[in-house]
């Protein structure tokens, strides 16, 4: 047996301890710096939600105030637009998740002709700048004489969320052991029962992440909505408009609240999951 020479690569000369520490943790520090860059605007949004600006714009710090938090809907149309955005996001998520999951199952489970064309058609919307899709779809609606509004926004949102759901669900279904479904069939589960009791629960994390992504994409979408909303104002449209007219503190309140609710939901979910695992 060959004995490995542990000194084979000549030991680098020992640098200063601090330097060595820095070198060892360089990746961690860089990662944390990036994380800081990602979080900084959220911190600013949160801090400025307690601001009491002097003019119409909430860009520089004046003094602390809870006014906006006490009255988050105190600006005309703000909460209306928020409600509309949430409504669209829910329906778009539902539509995209159902249609996308069906496509994902077809792609992951069946061999059929035109498979690669279908794959391309799914991939293209993700490889297309939003502004191109937005302008094209708006051209179609204009030419068809369709009234812009809730429905056109919903149609557009389902369209661009669809591909993301397909990708998420397909990955999950493809990594699933086909023997699990065979085992279910072997254990007297009919095809329908197999799907409901085994396939669906195991694919659920993929479906859930696709749905979550759809919700976030739809709720936050501006470009496609901008082209296809007509005079309907969603929350991002409201913020866009306010960037021109003057930014009410309330948008910071809503933004921060959404952020905190999201963090709390995920943390609560994690804790619940950890507890269930432990017991």
Partner 1 sequence: MTATEAPPGAPAPKAEPLAVRTPPARKRLVPYWLLLPGLLWLLVFFAAPLVYQASTSIQTGSLEEGFKVTWHLATYWDALGAYWPQFVRSVSYAAVATVLCLLLGYPLAYLIAFKAGRWRNLVMILVIAPFFTSFLIRTLAWKTILADGGPVVGALNALHVLDVTNWLGLTEGHRVLATPLAVVCGLTYNFLPFMVLPLYTSLERIDPRLHEAAGDLYARPRTTFRRVTFPLSMPGVVAGTLLTFIPAAGDYINAELLGSTDQKMIGNVIQSQFLRVLDYPTAAALSFILMAAILTMVTLYIRKSGTEDLV
Partner 2 sequence: MTRTAPPHRSGGDVRLEGISKTYGSFTAVHPLDLTVPAGSFFALLGASGCGKTTTLRMIAGLEDPTTGTVALSGQDVTALPPYKRQVNTVFQNYALFPHLDIHENVAFGLRRRGIKSVKKPVEEMLDLVQLGPMARRRPQQLSGGQQQRVAVARALINKPEVLLLDEPLGALDLKLRRQMQLELKRIQTEVGITFVHVTHDQEEAMTMADTVAVMNGGRVEQLGAPADLYENPASTFVANFLGTSNLIEAEVVTADGEELLLKAGDAALRLPARRCSAPARPGGKVLAGVRPEKVTLAHADDAGSLPGGRNLLPARIKDAGFIGVSTQYVVTVPGLGELAVYEQNIERDGRLIPGADVVLHWSPAHTFGLDAAQDIGAGADLDEEAA
Footprint on residues 142-171 left by partner 1 (CB under 8 A): 142-143, 155-156, 158-159, 162-163, 166
d(C-alpha 62, C-alpha 66), whole Å: 13
Nearer to partner 2, 198 or 249 (CB): 198
- 136 contributes a contact to partner 1 by CB under 8 A: yes
- Residue labelled with tokens 């637009």: 81
- 179 contributes a contact to partner 2 by CB under 8 A: yes
Nearer to partner 1, 72 or 255 (CB): 255
**Binding-site member from 64, 112, 275, 278 for partner 1 (CB under 8 A):** 112
- 105 contributes a contact to partner 1 by CB under 8 A: yes
* 182-192: b (≥16 Cβ within 10 Å) or e: eebeeeebeee
Residues that contact partner 1, how many (by CB under 8 A): 87
Question: What sections of the chain are H helices per DSSP?
Answer: 17-24, 26-48, 67-70, 78-109, 115-123, 130-144, 150-174, 178-186, 191-194, 200-220, 223-228, 235-245, 249-278
d(C-alpha 31, C-alpha 28), whole Å: 5
d(C-alpha 155, C-alpha 129), whole Å: 18
- 188 contributes a contact to partner 2 by CB under 8 A: yes
**Binding-site member from 102, 180, 243, 265 for partner 2 (CB under 8 A):** 180
Closest contact distance (angstroms) between CB of 31 and partner 1 is 3
- Residue labelled with tokens 């979408």: 221
Closest contact distance (angstroms) between CB of 70 and partner 1 is 19
**Binding-site member from 19, 22, 35, 200 for partner 1 (CB under 8 A):** 35
Residues found near partner 2 in the complex (CB under 8 A): 177, 179-180, 182-191, 193-194, 197-198, 201-202, 204
């Amino acid at each position: 047996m060959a004995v490995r020479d542990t000194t084979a690569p000549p030991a680098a000369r020992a640098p200063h301890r601090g330097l060595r520490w820095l070198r060892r943790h360089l990746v961690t520090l860089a990662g944390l710096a990036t994380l800081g860059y990602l979080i900084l605007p959220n911190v600013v949004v949160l801090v400025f939600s307690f601001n009491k600006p002097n003019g119409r714009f909430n860009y520089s710090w004046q003094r602390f105030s809870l006014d906006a938090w006490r009255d988050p809907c105190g600006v005309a149309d703000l909460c209306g637009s928020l409600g509309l955005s949430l409504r669209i996001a829910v329906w778009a998520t539902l539509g995209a998740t159902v249609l996308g999951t069906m496509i994902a199952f077809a792609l992951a489970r069946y061999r059929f002709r035109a498979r690669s064309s279908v794959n391309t058609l799914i991939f293209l919307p993700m490889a297309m700048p939003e502004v191109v899709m937005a302008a094209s779809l708006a051209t179609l609606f204009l030419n068809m004489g369709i009234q812009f509004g809730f429905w056109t926004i919903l149609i557009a949102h389902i369209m661009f969320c669809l591909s993301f759901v397909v990708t998420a669900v397909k990955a999950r279904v493809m990594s699933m052991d086909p023997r699990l479904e065979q085992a279910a069939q072997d254990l007297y589960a009919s095809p329908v029962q197999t799907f409901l009791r085994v396939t669906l629960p195991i694919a659920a994390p993929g479906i859930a992440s696709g749905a979550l992504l759809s919700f976030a994409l739809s709720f936050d979408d501006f470009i496609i909505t901008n082209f296809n909303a007509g005079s309907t104002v969603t929350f991002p449209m409201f913020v866009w408009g306010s960037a021109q007219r003057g930014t009410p503190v309330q948008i910071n309140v809503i933004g921060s609240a959404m952020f905190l609710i999201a963090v709390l939901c995920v943390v609560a979910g994690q804790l619940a999951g950890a507890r269930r695992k432990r017991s």
